[in-house]
Amino acid sequence: MKLYFVRHGETLWNTMGIFQGIKNSPLTEFGKEQTRKLKESLKDIKFTHFYSSPLGRALETINILTEDRPQAKIEIIPEFREINMGEVEGIPRKDFEAMYPVEFHNLWNNGKAYDPSNFDGETLESVYKRAGEGLKKITENHSENDVLLIVSHGVTLESIFANITGTSIETFAERNVPKNTSVTVAEYKNGKFEIILFSDTSHLS
Q: Which of 10, 79, 82, 103 is catalytic?
A: 82
Return d(Cα 128, Cα 135) in angstroms, integer.
Answer: 11
What is the chain's alpha carbon radius of gyration, rounded to the nearest angstrom? Answer: 16
CA-based nearest residue to 47, from 37, 57, 34, 38: 38
Domains of the chain plus CATH, in order, are: 2-204 (3.40.50.1240)
82 has catalytic annotation? yes
The share of the chain scoring above pLDDT 90, in percent, equals 87
The angle at the Cα of 16, spanning 10 to 17, to the nearest 5 degrees, equals 90
pLDDT of residue 195: 95
Q: Which of 8, 10, 79, 158 is catalytic?
A: 8
The share of the chain scoring above pLDDT 70, in percent, equals 97
Contact yes or no for 67/83 (Cβ under 8 A): no
Return d(Cα 5, Cα 22) in angstroms, integer.
Answer: 19
Instruction: Determine the residue type at 61.
Output: T
pTM: 0.95
pLDDT digits (tens, 9 = 90+) for 117-144: 999 999 999 999 999 999 999 999 999 9
pLDDT of residue 110: 85
8 has catalytic annotation? yes
Tell me phi and psi for residue 171, to 5 degrees: -90, -5
Contact yes or no for 83/121 (Cβ under 8 A): yes
